[in-house]
Structures are given as C-alpha cells and as structure tokens.
Chain A
Amino acid sequence: MSLAVPSTQACPACAAAPLAEAIADHAAQEPVSGPLILSLPTIHCAACISKVEHTLNAYPGVLNARVNLTLKRASIEAESEVTADDLTKALTDVGYEAHELDASALGTTATDRGGRDLLMRLAVAGFASMNVMLLSVAVWSGAEAATRDLFHWISAAIAIPAVGFAAQPFFRSAWAVVSKGHMNMDVPIALAIILALGTSLYETAHSGAHAYFDAALTLTFFLLAGRYLDYRTRAVARSAAEELTALEVPRALRVQDGKETLIAVDELSIGDTILVKPGGRMPVDGVVVSGMSELDRSLLTGETLPVYAGLDTVVSAGEVNLTGPLTISATAVGRDTSLYRLADLVAVAESGRNRYTSLADKAAKLYAPGVHILSALSFIGWYFYTFDLRTALNIAAAVLIITCPCALGLAVPAVTTAASGRLFRKGMLIKNGTALERLSVVDTVVFDKTGTLTEGKPQLINSAEIDPKMMSIAMGLATSSSHPLAKAIADAAASEGYSPAGLENIKELPGCGMQATYDGRSVRLGRADWIGAEAISETASYLMLDGSLPVVFRFTDQLRDGAQAAVSSLIAQGMKVHLLSGDTEAPVVDLANRLGISDWRAGVLPEEKAKHVADLAQSGHVLMVGDGLNDTAALAAADVSISPATALDAARVAADMVLLGNDLSVIGEATVTAQKATKRIRENFRIATLYNVIAIPIAIAGLATPLAAALAMSLSSITVSLNALRVR
C-alpha cells in the first residue's frame, strides 16, 4: 500500500496515465466521435505493444493510439476521415490480427467506476484496520488506565469515520431490504458493525476494558474483499461478453439515388434500399428487389441446406447471404425485426434461473435470523441474570461480531472467483453468478446440431466414388466461387492431390451455380433444378457435363473441435445426452450415430424445442447447448445454458455461459469444475459453521475478548479463502 510516490514517475505507464485520463475525459465530453477501438486477439508481449503502437501512431491522421494488453485492445484517437478498416488493414500488414469493436457496445466507464469505488472503500477499511489493530495489540499486551483509554479514543477517531465511509454498501443494502420488510446477509452485518462501534464507544467513554473497534473494521475489510472479488468476476465476464457483441459492428450499405453509403443499422428506416454483399448478414427484415443468391438460414432455423433467394423472396434479419449481391427493401427495422421479437420473447420466458435459490441465499436465510435470535436471547438472559444493561449489551454485541459473517461472506465469492478464473483460462465465460451451482446438479444435456456440435461448414464425403476427371472439372469450377459448398469441393480436391481441369468461360450465376466450357462441351456445377438432376435429401451439389450423367457431390457438416470429447465425457459422467435439431432427419441421424447419442429428434420447431427442454427440466436438471435463434427459447427454458461465441447475439444473451474458443471439450470439464466448486462452497459453509459452534458458546458465556474475536474472524476468513483456492 505504501507506494513511493517519486519512484513511480520513472515508469512509462504512469507517465502516460494522465494522458489516458485526458483521453477518457475527452471521450466523456464528446461521446459522438469517441475513440476507435480495435480488438487485437494475438498480442501478448512488450514487442507487440510497441510495434502496434508505432504502426498506429505513424498512420496519417492518427492523433494518439494506446494498447491495453490486459483487454487486448487498442484505443485510437484520430481525425474523422480515418476509418477502422484502414487501421485494421495497416495492422494486418505488419502481422497482427485486428477487428473493429463497436465502441457504443462497450459500456466500460460505468463498470470501472463501480470497481474503483469498491477498491477505494477496501483501501480505507484496510488502512484503518491496520492502524487500529496496531493500537489494539498495545492494549491487549497490557496497556492500562489512561494509556488504554487514549488508545481506545484514537481507535474510535479512526474507526468511526472509516466505517462510515467503507461500510456504506452494506448499510445501503441492509436498509433497502429492511425497509421492504425482508432480510438478507447484510442486515446482521450492518447491525454487528453498528452495535460493535456503539458499545465500544460507550465502553471507551466509561473507561471500559474491551473495545471492538478493530473487529468492526476487519469485518468491513474482509466483507469488502469478498464483495470486490464478486464484482471483479462479474466485471470480467461482462466485459468479455460486451466484446463479443461489439465485434459485430452493425453497419449496412444503403443505396440512395444510385449511391452507396455505409451507415449504422440503427439509422435504417422502413422502405430503405439496402445492398447485402455475399457473406454479409441481413441487417433488417425485407423483400428482395433485385439480385439472385442463396441464403444460409441455419442460425434461425437450424437447417443446413442453403435456400434460393430471388426477386420477392422474403428475408429476415440474421440470415446470411451466400453467393450473389442482393438488394433488399426494408419492411421492418431495429426492434420490430423478427430477430428482436423472438429475442424479446426469451426475455419474458427467463424462468429457469429465476426459480433457483443460490446456496448463499439459502445460507443467509438460515444464518440471519439465527444470529439475531441468539444475540437477542443472550442479551435477555444476561440482563435478567445481572440486571446490568451494559454487560448484557456488550455480550450481545460480542455474539454478533464473533459469529463470523465474514467467513460466510467470503465462502461463495472466493470459490466462484477461483472456478470462473479456471474456466475462463480454458475458454469458457461465466455470465451468471449462480450458473456454476446450477451446472453442478445437471443430469441431462441437450445439444443443438448446426453451429453447436457442427461447424456449420460443409465437408465433401463421397469424393472416393467420383470419377477423377469429374473431380478435377468440379475443382476447376469450384475454385472460382466463394459458395461454401464450392469451397468444400475445392478443399477436398486439393487435399487429395487433384489439379483443376482447364476450363474456359467460367461464369458464376448467383443462386444457381457455376458454368464453363470444357473441351468444347458445356459443364455446370450447382443446384439440382438448374442442372436438371434429381435432388437428394442430403446437402449436395450437382455436376453435369454435357452428354453424360449428372454427378452428385454429397456433403456432411464438419464436427466442431472437441464435440466428440465433450459428448463422450458427459456420457461417461452418467448424464443423458439428447440431440434436438431443426434440420432434416438424414444429417441428424448421421451425426447422432457418429457421436453415440441415442436420443435424437429432427425437424424440431423452436417452440417444440423449448417445450421439450421444459419437459425434461420437470424431471431433472437440464443443460442446453445451442447457438441459433431457434435455440434461444430452449436456452432460457433450461436450468442452465451454454452457447458458443459464434452464436447469434440473442442466443448469447439468453445463455448463462459462453464458449470463447472453438473447442467444445471444455463443457465436459466445466461440469466437473462446477461440481468441485459447489463442493468447496458447501465445505466453506461447514468451516464457517464449525468456527461458530466453537466461538458462540464462548461469546454467550461472556468470555469472549476482542482478541478472541479478532483471531476467530481472521482465522476463519483465511481458511475459507485457502479452501477456495483448491478449485484452481
């Protein structure tokens, strides 16, 4: 705590700190043209920082750029003509991956203030408790009469203002619940602090031997530490969740009088004409007015087969345009789009987590009334035994202080911090405080297929059956398209050592396929109806060389990394694993067989999915893992839910946990960690109770001294924290 002021000036970070503050102030004054923020997922060392900052600062128009390594972000102040795209390109050129972040989705300033406020109170409580403890040690080691009184008065002078500032969060929270006639953990805490200060002040005024100023302060300090840990865990989760949202900068290309302008999605209105390029996501609901293409609706329905889109096709926000540019006319924007309406339904249906009472709440329900009754009883008992109000009040205060709510206050946050930290390093983000506890009792796991167990990326499966000549022709056609199926053919052919056949006049017809001439014969690769072939039920592409039979290229969805490991580990843990998909039967059966899942259902509508999950939740505890809009209701209906980072925003909001990486195998580990964490929390409660069982009779008997109270409090808090560290 005793940071030497002059030496810190030498450190470049501190020298730059006022600058950072200046930027923050600047941003606060002009929220409209805030700094550009880039996400830099690959930076990791001093050299990266300096290279990125040099590159950015050297870019014309950039006024100031600063890297934050903890958050892996760069914040750039620049002239208005510098765009994030330019800077991203500049960084990619020097070898750093960079993505633009939507600054408005990163609500960091408000969260910072809360954390700094708690840290400030923690520091005051720590400072005051150390000083008062020093004075108390002198008293305990035998200071007497006037000296003891002087020390008590100095302690009071430090403790009362310090507690008045530091313990405000507890007083406020206690008052808020008491005024509504309820009870929580903060009520006995606030009462213990006030009573300890009050009786100690009275004792000091009457030259009494025992004062509990140090206890009131250490209590505040330990409890604030617990609160700060809790806050940090949630702040880290929130900022990571915000970053995922901010990665999708909502922009759209509006076409007006033949001119294209890039504007924010919020600014779009009904009737606007919007150009959606191949690979882009529909920003609004609308109708196609020109262009032909194919749409990937898998995030909304779970279907893997791309859907044809042409004139007058109705599109909804969230669908991905695959092949050709589409111009759409907006029919619903912003909150009226079907995407938002469905997401709103989820917010209403959030029942799974509301019906859960956390372990901390259960403990508080037992503890808070118990402590009050004990303390009141000892007050009454001692009053009728001695008819001395002072003795009775002193003992009642000692009982309240010595019951160690600090161990109980640390029991949960210390464990969840350790467990969340462990899972965060493995790539799993815990958004909800009680999610770990709910995860620990799960006995049924429901998976979505597309985008969750599978990548949503097709993979060619029948290359062995296809004639090599056809394969190289297909490769020639496929390499010049960006359609996912074409890419899959090109990848498969390249990995099997084919070389593309010499083709002429290669042309892509958006929404249909590729066309070219081979040896004077026309050749086509694309949709069945366009080629003139019989369509099969699976995802497939068709090749037709003039004068020969059509060739079918069949695809399967590529498994996500760790999908097999996750499913096997869950089954090995004795859980029932279900697969619910909106996709057609053939690919679902195939996947279920590959992963060894016996309970599967295909063609499930979103409502059925939610209902099925709710039914399962009646008889057990369900974990739902899904990514699409069709999963959001099911995610909310389950007891606990996980969604991958690639999921739609609405699904990530509905889920309790988000997988940051691409690997699913962490799910199997997460359930184990959750069980371990819950076990530690219960152990912590038992440790705290054990201390109480020993300490309460001593306090009630009137034998407790401030020294004993200080020892019990510190020992129990330290044991609880150390026990929590075993989760890591």
Chain B
Amino acid sequence: MQMLIYLIPISLFLGGLGLAAFFWTIRTRQYDDPDGDSQRILSDDWDDRPKP
C-alpha cells in the first residue's frame, strides 16, 4: 500500500496536466474553426518554416 503515496499524487498531477492543456487550448481559441483546422493540415503553406 506504500506506493499509493506516490501513485495517487502522480495520477492527479498527470490528470491536472491534461486539464491545464485543455484550458490552454480553450484560452487560445483553438476551437473557433474546427473545420478549417482539419483542412489546413493538408495545405503546403508554411511547411518549411512557421508563419512569421
């Protein structure tokens, strides 16, 4: 049972990381254009370097 002391905080931390990532995606408006984002991945623009 001793490992619970590590495992529970670790599981909570990992879950919290996922939650924080989700918050970040909402805050940076990544769900404003789901159709466009799924199409943009096919475009060749900015394949070599990121958009300045």
Contact = CB atoms under 8 A, between A and B. Distances in A.
B36 A69 contact: yes
B7 to A, nearest CB: 11
Interface size class of A (residues with CB under 8 A): 35 or more
Interface string A96-130: 00000000000000001000100110011001001
Interface in B26-52: 26-37, 39-46, 50-51
17 contacts: A5-B21, A8-B25, A12-B41, A12-B50, A14-B28, A15-B46, A15-B50, A17-B29, A20-B29, A46-B40, A50-B45, A67-B36, A70-B33, A70-B34, A123-B23, A127-B16, A147-B1
B43 to A, nearest CB: 4
Contacts of B11: 131, 134
Contacts of B23: 120, 123
Contacts of B18: 1-3, 127
B38 to A, nearest CB: 8
Interface string A15-44: 111111100100000000000000000000
A69 B51 contact: no
A160 to B, nearest CB: 15
Contacts of A14: 28, 30
B22 A1 contact: yes
B3 interface: no
A357 interface: no
Contacts of B40: 11-13, 46, 49
Nearest to A131: B15
Interface of B: 1, 4, 8, 11-12, 14-19, 21-37, 39-46, 50-51
Give the dominant DSSP class at B's interface. helix
Given A2-B17, A12-B51, A127-B18, A20 B32 contact: yes
Contacts of A46: 39-43
Interface in A54-79: 67-71
Contacts of A50: 43-45
A3 B22 contact: yes
B52 to A, nearest CB: 10
Interface centre among B11, B18, B41, B46 (most CB of A within 10 A): B18
A348 interface: no
A49 B22 contact: no
Interface of A: 1-5, 8, 11-21, 24, 45-47, 49-50, 53, 67-71, 112, 116, 119-120, 123-124, 127, 130-131, 134, 147, 150, 154, 158
Given A3-B22, A46-B39, 19 more contacts: A1-B21, A2-B18, A11-B37, A13-B30, A13-B37, A13-B40, A14-B28, A20-B28, A46-B41, A49-B40, A68-B32, A69-B35, A70-B34, A112-B32, A116-B27, A119-B31, A123-B26, A131-B15, A150-B4
Contacts of A15: 46, 50-51
A70 B32 contact: yes
A228 to B, nearest CB: 12
Q: What are the 5 tightest A-B residue pairs by CB atom distance, in nearest-first order? A: A69-B36, A2-B18, A13-B37, A46-B39, A46-B42
A210 to B, nearest CB: 21
B19 A70 contact: no
Contact of B29 (A24, A71, A130): A24
A49 B50 contact: no
Nearest to B36: A69
Nearest to B8: A154
A2 B21 contact: yes
Contacts of A116: 26-27
B41 A21 contact: no
A53 B8 CA distance: 49
A71 B25 contact: no
A21 B15 contact: no
A14 B33 CA distance: 11
B22 A17 contact: no
A116 B28 CA distance: 11
A691 to B, nearest CB: 30
A188 B34 CA distance: 36
A119 B26 contact: yes
A17 B28 contact: yes
Nearest to B5: A150
Contacts of B16: 127
A168 to B, nearest CB: 16
Contact of A17 (B15, B30, B43, B46): B30
A150 B41 CA distance: 47
Nearest to B32: A68
A17 B29 CA distance: 7
A67 B42 CA distance: 15
Contact of B36 (A2, A18, A68, A150): A68
Contacts of B31: 119
Nearest to B17: A2
B22 A123 contact: yes
B20 to A, nearest CB: 9
Contacts of B44: 50
A151 to B, nearest CB: 9
A116 B29 CA distance: 9
Contact of B43 (A4, A24, A49): A49
A345 B33 CA distance: 39
A3 B29 contact: no
